[in-house]
Copies of this chain bind each other. A is one copy, B any other.
């Protein structure tokens, strides 16, 4: 079968690799329909972080169950599933608390190989999210939205939940990539009446507005802090979503909230220096981390997509076949698209 392979920074290829097989009784083999490129993939594609050359890539997919291990109870061949980047066992303390990204029984290295014609999904019953109904009944647009539930939409939702967005709140969202736009949608879902999106790219700001942003702030650093304070009558925001992870973004994010607000952060952190004593005196909270994908999907996001309440699939502004995976990465790295969709199989 064909799979995307990381050759070296800036270079992806599609290689013929062995078909995956059931290795454990709770595994499933998923025939991938759609995968995509994540903003976090760009760190190694650009050579900023390390990744093993020759490794399989991708950690977001939807697909059809092809085969199941003998212990799998809730899925059967032919089922449409979301394949999250998380692999919760459902039994450990982290999973029971709804934080399956921190499952203590997760296999190391499980988050790879989704950009391929087929993949092995461990802990299928608990880790995969079954989409009800006839898989053939869904439009391509709905399938694209379901694909975002593998990571990016759930990650944006984790930012909003961690930031404790409440009805009537003014929320600020740092990041106008796919996670930031998901954060805007999520802040709206949780009832924010005003959503300030930090964006300096017209195409992304447009999607942010369509997703619920009421104000767009292009400034950064001190100027961004001053602008948010100005927009909130000097008070600061009720909730802050940090969806970038860069030092500048997080260091700015902790300065724009009112006393008692919380920064919900989902941007993978890169050397941020935060004065936690200063947070104390201002009663600013800091929460977040890797998202609870399957938990949010089942509880909130899958119903929200299927009912049409949200349509996060619109963030895929570029679509590519698997053979063009290099283009998919390049287009996203060069900001020509917000997020790259990779169409792989047919339902």
Contacts and interface: CB of A to CB of B under 8 A. Distances in A.
Contact of A259 (B99, B232, B235, B271): B99
A79 to B, nearest CB: 29
Interface in A69-100: 92-94, 97-99
Contacts of A111: none
A281 B102 CA distance: 8
Count of this chain's copies in the oligomeric assembly: 2
Contact of A280 (B235, B258, B288): B288
B282 A262 contact: no
Contacts of A233: 93
Nearest to A100: B259
Contacts of A271: 277
Contacts of A282: 102, 289
A260 interface: yes
7 contacts: A92-B235, A97-B238, A99-B260, A101-B259, A162-B285, A272-B276, A286-B287
Given A276-B276, A280-B289, A283-B288, 7 more contacts: A94-B260, A99-B258, A260-B292, A265-B280, A271-B277, A283-B290, A286-B286
Among all A-B residue pairs, the 9 with the closest Cβ atoms? A102-B259, A93-B235, A283-B289, A285-B287, A99-B260, A94-B259, A99-B259, A269-B277, A280-B289
Interface of A: 92-94, 97-99, 101-102, 162, 232-236, 238, 258-262, 265, 268-269, 271-272, 274, 276-277, 279-290, 292
